[in-house]
Amino acid sequence: MRWHYQSPNESLTVSNGEVLWLYDPIAREASRYPVSESQLTGAALQFLMGDGRILDSFRATASSCRPGEDGGLEIDLAPREPASYERMKLRAHSERGDVLATTIVDLFGNETALRFSEMRFDPDLEAEVFEFEPPEGVQIIDLMMPR
């Protein structure tokens, strides 16, 4: 996966399925995690990596049964296992099933909303897109376990 946020503060999250990099260009800092032991564990990691069964990981209830202007329906998701968040909201296109938006509600009630636009499915990407080489002068926090 590769997520490049441009605002409000630029950041980059890159994973090749084995290593997860979190890069903060403003702080000039990059953290390197093993995927199996990173902060993105359990259901969140499964879905970001394209795996996972929603009903195995969550109790799901419909928030709305009529598509909105974007054709989306909302589903509330409560994790079946203890998690670092309280619940998630998922907005998906009623016919195609494309995820249009997600909202994660943390254990303190804070909400983080992601809205997806200009989505492209199954583009022909080179493997290098999912690798990260920290720029020179960046402090690296390496949390990989020695083998």
pLDDT computed for residue 50 by the predictor: 58
Nearest-angstrom CA–CA distance, 28 and 93: 38
pLDDT tens for 73-104 read 899 999 888 887 899 998 888 888 888 888 98
Domains along the chain with CATH numbers: 2-142 (2.50.20.10)
The token pair at 102 is: 């997600």
Q: Which pLDDT belongs to residue 141?
A: 93
Q: Which regions of the chain are under pLDDT 50?
A: 37-40
User: CA-based diameter of the chain, in Å?
Assistant: 52
Res 24: pLDDT: 95
